[in-house]
Amino acid sequence: MPVVQANGIDINYEVQGEGEPMVLIPYLAADQACYAFQVAEYAKHYTCFSVDLRGAGLSGKPDGVYTTDLFADDIAAFMQAAGIGQAHVFGLSLGAAAGMWLAARHPDKVKTLSLHSGWSATDPFLRAVVESWQGMARALDSVPEMVIQGIFPWCFTPEMYAARPEYVDSLAEFVRGRPTPPVDAFIRQSGAVLAHDATSVLGSIQAPALITFGRYDLVCGPRFAAPLSEGIGNSEVIAFEDCSHAPIYENTEAFNEQTLAFLKRH
C-alpha cells in the first residue's frame, strides 16, 4: 500500500477500481480496510482511495491535540499529494465528521459528500458514551478488545447479535487482525470526537450531500438528522430502518444499493 507525506505526517492508503475518484475516510480507531464491503462494490464504478486517518492504521500517530478539522486538512493535503483534484467524499461516524469539515474548508475538493451515522456537534449523551470507551481502552490496555466489547454493542442491533452470532464473531476477528492504534493514539482520536462541533460551518457546504442513519442508532442516530439536513442546504436523508450505528455491516446490500444510487445521480 502506498504512503504519502501530507500535512506533516505519513498517510497510508489503498487504491482500487476505475472511474471518478472517491475518498473513503474511516471511523474511530479503524484503518482503511473498514469499508471492504463497500469498496468491493464501489470500485466497479469509482477509483476508491481508502485512507488511514492520523492516529490509526499505518498512518502517523504524532502527539498533540487531534480535531475533526485537522483530519479534514490531512485529507485535503493527502488529495493534493496523491494528485486527486476533486472526489466523492465518503465517511461514517468520525469519517463523516471529518468529511463535513473537508467540504466546508476545501469545497473545491468535494464533488459529493456522503455522511453516514454522522453528527453535527457532540452532545452530553455522545460525550458519556465516548468517555466510557476511553475508560475501557485504558482498563483493558487494548484498543481491539475495547472496540469489540465496548463499541460493537452500540453499532449493531440486539436482533443482529441474536440472529447472526457467527457474523459478529467474524467482525471481531477482522478487528483483531487489522493494524490497531495504541491506547494513547485512540485517546487522541476519540478526543476529536468529544470536541467535534461543525454547526457553524454546515451552511457553507455546497456539495450535494447524502445523510444516512440507522433507525436504532443511539450514538449518532436520528436526533442529528434535522441539524445536519437543515444545516446543509443541498442534502437528502435516508434512514435504514433495521440498523443501528453500522448499516455498512448490518444491511450491506441495502446500504450499498442506496448509497450508489445517490452517487450515480451526481
Task: Map out the domains of the chain as residue ranges.
Answer: 3-265
* Top-level class of domain 3-265: alpha beta
Using CA atoms, how far apart are residues 101 and 215, in angstroms rounded to an integer?
25
What pTM value is reported for the model? 0.98
Q: How many CB atoms lie within 10 A of CB 187?
A: 17
Strands (E), the chain: 3-6, 9-16, 20-25, 46-51, 87-92, 110-116, 209-214, 235-240
Q: Can you name the residues that pair with 51 across neighbouring β-strands? A: 13
User: Which triple of cell numbers denotes residue 112?
Assistant: 459529493
Q: Indicate the SS3 state at residue 233.
A: coil
What is the pLDDT tens value at each position of the chain, 266 positions in all?
799 999 999 999 999 999 999 999 999 999 999 999 999 999 999 999 999 999 999 999 999 999 999 999 999 999 999 999 999 999 999 999 999 999 999 999 999 999 999 999 999 999 999 999 999 999 999 999 999 999 999 999 999 999 999 999 999 999 999 998 999 999 999 999 999 999 999 999 999 999 999 999 999 999 999 999 999 999 999 999 999 999 999 999 999 999 999 999 99
